[in-house]
Amino acid sequence: METRILTQKEGMLQQLEILQQLYPDYTIEKYGTLLDDILKGNYQQIIVTENNKTIALTGVWIGTKLWCGKYVEIDNFVVHEAFRGRKIGDILIEEVNKLAKEIGANQICLDAYTTNFTAGKFYVNHGFVPKGFHFVKFLNH
């Protein structure tokens, strides 16, 4: 298995198939348009490949906030259905940890749905702890 960090839209567009496991309605056009906006920020993707096929992916945001300083935020963490239970998620977390250390981040953060107990257990097992609430106000567009 190999890991790579993607920073360019072209490489990220090639990851559509695995992202469709989270967002089945995404088309290449919709994904490309979102990437156009996302890439204006400090966004990258980390992928795990086996035999030149992406089997896991996470987006990461690098930022700085007043309350915590420099941080890495995990976004859209997905392991291909056929590869779950093989510790592939551990590889992704280790790559995020390496990136955070390289840039001198004070913390790694993420949002997980409160109903996703499997993800919650996974993150707790990797040293993450709940630290507050993430509030959302949905707006009609």
**pLDDT band for position 135 (cuts 50, 70, 90):** confident
Q: What is the pLDDT of residue 139?
A: 95
**CATH no. for residue 102?**
3.40.630.30
Give the contacts of 50 (CB within 8 A, at least 6 positions apart).
1, 2, 83
| 134 in any annotated domain | no
| 99 in any annotated domain | yes
Taking the C-alpha atoms of residue 53 and residue 51, their distance in angstroms, rounded to an integer, is 6
Roughly how many angstroms between the first and final C-alpha of the chain, as a whole number? 42
List pLDDT tens digits, range 12-70: 999 999 999 999 999 999 999 999 999 999 999 999 999 999 999 999 999 999 999 99
Give the contacts of 139 (CB within 8 A, at least 6 positions apart).
none
Q: How many domains does the chain have?
A: 1
Number of C-beta neighbours around residue 105 at 10 A: 21
Q: Please give the model's pTM, rounded to 2 decimal places.
A: 0.91
Q: What is the pLDDT of residue 52?
A: 92
List pLDDT tens digits, range 60-88: 999 999 999 999 999 999 999 999 999 99
